[in-house]
Copies of this chain bind each other. A is one copy, B any other.
Amino acid sequence: MDSSLPSTKDLTSDNITANVTAINSKCKDLRMKFLLECLVTHLHDFARETRLTTSEWEAAIKFLTEVGQTCTEVRQEFILLSDVLGLSLLVDSIDHPKLPNATEGTVLGPFHTHEAENVQHGSSISADKDGEEMLVFGTIKDTKGNPIPDVKVDVWEADSKGFYDVQRADHDGPDGRGVVHSDENGEFFFTGIVPPCYPIPHDGPVGKLLQKLGRHPYRPSHFHFMFEKAGYDHLITALYRRGDPYESSDAVFGVKSSLVVDIGIVSEVEGLAEKCNAAPSKRLMKHDFVLLTDEESKVLRYQKALEALQKQDGTKLEIVNGLLVPHS
């Protein structure tokens, strides 16, 4: 036995938190030590404040086990759980603070895959014959207004019935997803379909939870985008269709006003039909995206970490590589 560790005998509701934290404090990874200390404190406070009963604890164990066992290679029920509890949106907003003119982020959701293939400008990412074809046209700039070429743009959307490719029984390859790259003018375009609103998978434990809470499982019509280029902050976002019945009640809290767009037609934008070789009557989703540089993001993150540190016991914490850790 390591004699520098406290005894773990005779723990009560009053002393157990300090004791578990002391035992965990031998962790050599300071960031992990801090995460565990915070986690154990909140977990225990939750049990103490609610006076959690043994049968409620048993129900929670059963629920979490079911959530884990519902996960497959193509279904991530824990991400869904995080989404419906607002944690996913919160973590994105914490980890990717934005300057006022930069494009806001939103939830990744559980349906991003690494299967998407490269598509040429103008090509279609969707094989869905029931979908209404839609040109997606985007520009990518930095916060000073300079176009950013060669950004990897990973896009994905549900089919016209509200299912992602991986949710379909006949799934045998990517559909409704693709990777395009911005050109020298920071522009990209491709053809998708007008995305529908749809319920998140609600035949599992998370769906049952929503039902018990009296909540609906719907997400408004949206299209996912992920932007990646060395030197720029990774942006996970989506565009939402204005006027969708679920625009103000997204089950996973992802909608932001700045990401709500009209879906018009190509002819409404002068010269676009010619530029993209698209029918003037084709539906159109168009947006100007603005990325932060890594440097801008780092400064913002540091400022926010400093604010968080000042709200807590600053004598115990410091900022290392932009992360809060206990003083070593």
Contacts and interface: CB of A to CB of B under 8 A. Distances in A.
Interface of A: 1, 5, 7-13, 16-17, 19-20, 23-24, 26-29, 32, 34-36, 38-40, 42-54, 56-57, 61, 64-69, 71, 76, 78-79, 82, 85-96, 212-215, 234, 245-250, 253, 255-257, 301, 304-305, 308, 311-312, 323-324
Contacts of A24: 213, 215
A255 B26 CA distance: 21
A91 B49 contact: no
A90 B8 contact: no
Contact of A96 (B11, B36, B54): B54
A199 to B, nearest CB: 14
Given A26-B215, A64-B64, A9 B91 contact: no
Given A9-B247, A20-B85, A32-B212, 7 more contacts: A8-B250, A20-B253, A43-B87, A49-B324, A50-B324, A51-B95, A54-B234
Contact of A253 (B16, B213, B249): B16
Contacts of A61: 76, 78-79, 82
B323 A51 contact: yes
Interface of A is mostly: helix
Given A17-B86, A27-B212, A86-B40, A8 B248 contact: yes
A53 B95 contact: yes
Contacts of A27: 212-214
B90 A312 contact: no
19 contacts: A1-B245, A5-B249, A8-B253, A9-B257, A11-B86, A12-B93, A27-B212, A27-B213, A28-B214, A42-B43, A44-B86, A44-B87, A44-B90, A47-B87, A50-B324, A54-B234, A64-B68, A66-B68, A68-B78
Contacts of A20: 85-86, 253
A234 B78 CA distance: 33
Contacts of A12: 93
Contact of A68 (B26, B43, B71): B71
Given A12-B93, A91-B54, A312 B247 contact: no
